[in-house]
Amino acid sequence: MMDSEKLISQLHGLKAVFDDKESELTALDREIGDGDHGVNMKRGFSAVAEKVTEGSTQEILKQTGMTLMSSIGGASGPLYGFSFVKMSEVAEDTIDSENLATILEVFAKTVGEKGKVSGGEKTMFDVISKTADLLREKGSLDLKSLQALADDTEDMVATKGRAAYFKENSKGTIDPGAQSAVYVIQALGEGVQN
């Protein structure tokens, strides 16, 4: 169960995660994009750690979304940002696994609609939608298994975002947004489990 305090601590924890993973995400985005995804995510969650410090779970998710929208830029900023705003609308005061499943379904739906993307196009959507399905089916998430969902994007050909310009050459690299989505979802999942 994740109350507002736990949610804040999990979101603030993502600042350290993205400090740590900046070079990994940048390396992926250098292969099939413009090399800024690491910096983008780091900037976004540094801003969240600084600006989102109190409120109900709904307020925290909404403020996180607004902060990500105004600080990340690029394709991923509006996708993550708008998703957190929409997720705030279905969050309960204390988030349990079942509510997290609903939240992740909204996450997937929002990215799908805003990004005009569906499964197999090599984006963050692949990780988010499959995780939502897994949690709904099984009732809990094996957080370590999420990496396999990002790994699955390696063999895909990108048809959305900058990576689509690489066509067949986008094969052989994990999608940067799929990788960052693993970290975002792991933080939320961990909050519910502990």
CB under 6 A: which stretch of 83-91, 113-121, 128-136, 166-174 binds ligand ADP?
113-121
Q: Count how many residues are written for the chain.
A: 194
DSSP letters, 67-121, are HHHHHH-TTHHHHHHHHHHHHHTT--SSB-HHHHHHHHHHHHHHHHHHTT--TTS
Kindly state the tokens that stand for 194: 């502990």
181 touches 124 (CB < 8 A)? yes
Q: Does 89 bind ligand ADP (CB under 6 A)?
A: no
Q: How many CA atoms lie within 13 A of 64 on its CB side?
A: 31
- Residue 132's binding partner, choosing from ligand ADP, Mg ion, none, with beta-carbon cut-off 5 to 8 A by kind? none
Size of the site for Mg ion (CB under 5 A): 6
Interface with Mg ion in residues 6-45 (CB under 5 A): 29, 33-34, 36-37
Rounded CA-CA distance 64/51 in Å is 8
Q: Which one among 11, 75, 108, 156 touches ligand ADP, defined by CB under 6 A?
A: 75
Q: Does 126 bind Mg ion (CB under 5 A)?
A: no
Shortest Å distance, C-beta 14 to Mg ion: 18
Q: Which residues lie near ligand ADP (CB under 6 A)?
A: 29, 33-34, 36-37, 40, 74-76, 79, 111, 115-117, 123-125, 160-162, 175-178
